[in-house]
Amino acid sequence: MSENSEKTKCLIIGSGPAGYTAAIYAARADLKPILYEGLQPGGQLTTTTEIDNFPGYPEGVEGHAMMEDLKKQAQRFETDVRFGIITDVDFSEHPFKVKADDGKEIITETVIIATGASARWLGIESEEAYKGYGVSACATCDGFFYKGKDVAIVGGGDTAAEEATYLAKLCNKVYLIHRRDELRASKAMQKKVIDTPNIEILWDNVPKEITGKEAGFSKEVTGAILENVKTGKETKINIDGFFVAIGHSPNSKIFKGQVDMADTGYIKTAPDSTKTNIEGVYACGDVQDHIFRQAVTAAGTGCMAAIEAERFLAS
């Protein structure tokens, strides 16, 4: 073993609810886990201002603060939390060899992948400015804040249609913005959208700018400027919330060719399990969950991964 090599029973790649929960369980099982936080320590939730649907926070909690709580809890049980990224993995033989950007080679008996997924954004400047202040990529997470208000959602697939109907139950009015003249969603979901009276579909439109106002550190969305892709005509809509539902990309590129994946890049796991096709390698959270994508479900699978890793080591 070289000077830059070290051994561990359990390596966790990625932070967020899945990674930190896996660390808490693995550390309490005396696996002495090493966790690399990745490029965005705490994951997607660090971009969320207020979380109201995670158990144990009756008054709600700011996303970054919740991730700090989970991190501290993992460290309390002596998880070795490291800032940095994993650059290369080799699962071809056991124990596994993994390289980090600090030059370290880690030889590990188990690996828990918790690298999450990244929402796809429109890429307009004002979207970035109001992210977390009226602009969201998760209607299930943030829809409640817009009860009785007017909102817009961008997209045309099943996710956009499903989130539009979810928002319609809470909000006064929902604008569904789609760049084409027909939705990509399934026929059943299309019918549901069309049959919902407070959803208005704005066909052939793309968002050009999100408008808002700022006062000190406070920001809020007030509207959006849309452009018709066929005529070039601009339209202004007045809204309080702006949702983007154009898909997510799992952060799984580094594991390509190492573990089985779906065509979409999500890591495949066994039913009712976080086991991948490689014995001793587990995947949890949004990197393997393209359906629920919630903090609480990610935490649940993080728990499962740590327990399965512990059982593998015991056997």
Distance separating alpha carbons of residues 8 and 259, to the nearest angstrom = 21
Active site residue 10: no
Query: Are 98 and 132 in a shared domain?
Result: no
The pLDDT of residue 149 is 98
Buried b / exposed e over 146-167, threshold 16 CB at 10 Å, is: beeebbbbbbbbbbbbbbbbbb
Query: Are 102 and 129 in a shared domain?
Result: no
For residue 261, the Cα-to-chain-centroid distance in whole angstroms is: 17
Query: Are 110 and 150 in a shared domain?
Result: no
Active site residue 52: no
Asked if 204 and 197 count as a contact pair (C-beta separation under 8 A), the reply is no
- Write down the catalytic residue from 52, 90, 138, 286: 138
- Write down the catalytic residue from 142, 240, 286, 289: 142
Asked if 23 and 12 count as a contact pair (C-beta separation under 8 A), the reply is yes
Query: Are 112 and 255 in a shared domain?
Result: yes
Query: Are 95 and 125 in a shared domain?
Result: no
Query: Are 112 and 17 in a shared domain?
Result: yes
Q: Which residues, listed in sequence order, are joined to residue 210 by a DSSP beta bridge? A: 224
State which of 210, 244, 278 marks the end of a domain: 244
Residue indicated by tokens 């989130």 = 163
The pLDDT of residue 97 is 97
- Write down the catalytic residue from 10, 141, 284, 303: 141
Query: Are 108 and 256 in a shared domain?
Result: yes
Query: Are 104 and 168 in a shared domain?
Result: no
* Residue ranges making up the domain that contains 295: 5-118+248-314
Active site residue 303: no
Contacts of 91 (CB under 8 A, 6+ apart): 111, 258, 259, 278, 281
Distance separating alpha carbons of residues 64 and 298, to the nearest angstrom = 16
Tens of pLDDT along the chain (315 residues)?
677 899 999 999 999 999 999 999 999 999 999 999 988 777 777 766 678 889 999 998 988 899 999 999 999 999 999 999 999 999 999 999 999 998 999 999 999 999 999 888 999 999 999 998 999 998 988 999 999 999 999 999 988 998 999 999 999 999 999 999 999 998 999 999 999 999 999 999 999 999 999 887 789 999 999 999 999 999 999 999 999 999 889 999 999 999 999 999 999 999 999 999 999 999 999 999 988 888 999 999 999 999 999 999 999
State which of 244, 261, 287 marks the end of a domain: 244
DSSP-derived letter for residue 277 is: S
Residue type, 102: D
Domain of 192, CATH number, reads 3.50.50.60
Q: Which residues, listed in sequence order, are joined to residue 200 by a DSSP beta bridge? A: 175
Q: How many domains does the chain have?
A: 2
Backbone angles phi, psi at 220, to 5 degrees: -150, 145
Copy the structure tokens of residue 76: 């309390």
Distance separating alpha carbons of residues 182 and 87, to the nearest angstrom = 41
The pLDDT of residue 49 is 65
Distance separating alpha carbons of residues 71 and 302, to the nearest angstrom = 13
State which of 223, 244, 265 marks the end of a domain: 244
Query: Are 132 and 233 in a shared domain?
Result: yes
Distance separating alpha carbons of residues 160 and 208, to the nearest angstrom = 19
The pLDDT of residue 82 is 96
Query: Are 204 and 114 in a shared domain?
Result: no
Query: Are 240 and 299 in a shared domain?
Result: no
> Is residue 41 reached through a cis peptide bond, with omega within 30 degrees of 0 on the bond before it?
no
Q: How many CB atoms sit inside 10 A of residue 60's CB?
A: 14
Asked if 221 and 240 count as a contact pair (C-beta separation under 8 A), the reply is yes
Query: Are 132 and 186 in a shared domain?
Result: yes
